[in-house]
Amino acid sequence: MELIQKLGERIRFLRREKNISQEQLGELSNLHTNYIGAIERGEKNITLESLVKVSKGLEVSLDELFRYLEPMDEPDDLQKVVDLLSNRSSEDQSLAFNLLVEIFHWEQKKNQ
């Protein structure tokens, strides 16, 4: 399958996951509904500018938009942590970060 089709499927998946219609995504992205449909079907080669608009409309990063387009090996532990925290609030992310900092400071002190 071509990259543009995979990207269109990913956009459709994320849109449906957020339970919004093509029309709503078009409004949120400031793009025409027909263009959204053509992107999702892999009929249009989306521009970088439109890609940024779609990612903002979906409220996802470009990284998340491109994630899983290619088959991935089993994610490593770092990727699992990133995936776990990516959908959490910034407060939860900050809490997890501070916890990790404390753990590593404790380990460092223990090994001295």
Give the model confidence (pLDDT) of 47-89 as tens digits: 999 999 999 999 999 988 887 777 555 667 777 887 788 778 8
Length of the chain: 112
pTM above 0.95, yes or no: no
Alpha-carbon distance of 44 to 36, in angstroms, equals: 9
pLDDT at 20: 95
Domain ranges of the chain: 3-66, 77-110
Tell me which of 1.20.120.1200, 3.60.15.10, 1.10.260.40, 2.40.170.20 is the CATH number of domain 3-66. 1.10.260.40
Decide if pLDDT at 95 tops 90. Answer: yes
Q: Among all chains, which residue has been given the structure tokens 């991935």? A: 72
**Please, what is the Cα angle at 21 between 40 and 23, to 5 degrees?**
85
pLDDT at 90: 86
